[in-house]
Amino acid sequence: NAGVTQTPKFQVLKTGQSMTLQCAQDMNHEYMSWYRQDPGMGLRLIHYSVGAGITDQGEVPNGYNVSRSTTEDFPLRLLSAAPSQTSVYFCASSWTGATNEKLFFGSGTQLSVL
Amino acid sequence: KNEVEQSPQNLTAQEGEFITINCSYSVGISALHWLQQHPGGGIVSLFMLSSGKKKHGRLIATINIQEKHSSLHITASHPRDSAVYICAVRSPSRNNDMRFGAGTRLTVKP
């Protein structure tokens, strides 16, 4: 099994450009989420989804959009990139998002916005 | 103040030493997770705790709900244990969102 696959691994953008970070899982997980990781800070939740067609905001949603058209895919869109969005991004999934469930993480995307 | 605090921030040990990483949290929780992040790699879930103690190989995780504190111990540490260890909690008061500590960077020297 591939688990959680994130692409790209690295990306450099100019301020104002748009891009989509891809996340796919092959474990039939209902719950998927996006986090950003900044130096000296813990991971912070951006958006999450509890199933196809259902998304909600996390702790730091501004500047990001998501959609969930299938169980497998949960892309994260930056519509107009800003230097403050320079970060490492992780996608994660679990069966239902219940508190006793293990999270499976992707390998991360390092994004720089100039 | 962060809701999840880890100590120490950085830790260097000699191979074979016993390691302890601490996590304190300030919110009510339904579960606490310990994660491992290798340099250049992704994040792997090590333990999920809601009470007591769990052991997996040389790793032991404990939690004291009353004191809002958890520890991760590594016995007979090895250079391959070098990684960032992250504590995370799920809080019912925050819609079960996960809150993460900033991580403890462990370096084990041969």
pLDDT digits (tens, 9 = 90+) for B57-103: 999 999 999 999 999 999 999 999 999 999 999 877 665 678 899 99
Cα–Cα separations (whole angstroms), residue A61 to A29, A34, B5, B77: 22, 10, 23, 39
Chain A residues lying within 8 Å of B99, measured CB to CB: 42
Q: How much is the average pLDDT of B51-58?
A: 94
Question: Using the 8-state DSSP alphabet, how is residue A101 labeled?
Answer: P
Contact between A45 and B97 using a beta-carbon 8 Å cutoff: yes
pLDDT bin (cut points 50, 70, 90) of residue B1 is low
Cα–Cα separations (whole angstroms), residue A4 to A35, B18, B96: 14, 33, 22
Chain B residues lying within 8 Å of A103, measured CB to CB: 33, 35, 45, 98
Who wins on pLDDT, A39 or B41?
A39
pLDDT bin (cut points 50, 70, 90) of residue A80 is very high
Burial of B1 (0-12, 13-18, 19+ CB in 10 A): exposed
Pairing state between β B43-49 and B53-56? unpaired
CA distance A30 to chain B (A): 16
Sheet holding A76-78, edge to edge: A4-7, A19-25, A76-78, A64-66
Q: In the prediction, which pLDDT does B5 show?
A: 95
Q: In the prediction, which pLDDT does B98 show?
A: 80
CA distance A98 to chain B (A): 8
Nearest to A43 by CA among B50, B45, B48, B72: B45
Using CB atoms, pick whichever of A59, A99, A105 lies closest to residue B30: A99
Chain A residues lying within 8 Å of B35, measured CB to CB: 103, 105
Beta-carbon count within 10 A of B49 CB: 20
Is the confidence at residue A59, as pLDDT, over 70?
Answer: yes
Q: A47: nearest CA in chain B?
A: B97
Lowest mean pLDDT: which of A26-35, B37-46, B92-101?
B92-101
Q: Return d(Cα A48, Cα A35) in angstroms, integer.
A: 9
Tell me phi and psi for residue A23, to 5 degrees.
-140, 130
